[in-house]
Amino acid sequence: MTDAERCLWKCLRARRFAGEKFRRQEPIGPYIVDFVSHSARLIIELDGGQHATLVNYDDQRTQWLNGRGYRVIRYWNNTVLTETDSVLEAIALALIPPLPNPPPQGGGLGRGVV
């Protein structure tokens, strides 16, 4: 594991973070993801400098994982090491299920917006 992965894993392992079960280096289809919560359908990827040249590969990988119902969030290794609290706050927000769509505005069915 990289230093950034070790740092984040200390916070995520053993249901320490929001009571959520995370796994690390988990195979999903043809890919191995850094961290995943299957119940939240959330994948966390940590990227080093080599990923600056792998943008197309990362995009295809993310699209494939999104197509299987996972949300993928990515952080640079340096960000995890220098802004750990901010990264953890963002992960906590990503764990909150989306709200259902609000009812349409306008006061009733069959009425268009004027």
Report yes or no on whether pTM surpasses 0.75.
Answer: yes
Domain 3-95, CATH number (from 1.10.10.10, 3.20.20.10, 3.40.960.10, 3.30.1330.10): 3.40.960.10
What are the tens digits of pLDDT across the range 35-72?
999 999 999 999 886 655 667 888 999 999 999 999 99
* SS3 per residue for 17-44: CCCCCCEEEEEECCEEEEEEECCCCEEE
Between CA 36 and CA 45 the distance in angstroms is 9
How is the chain split into domains, by residue range?
3-95
Q: Could you give the CA distance from residue 91 to residue 18 in angstroms, rounded to a whole number?
A: 10
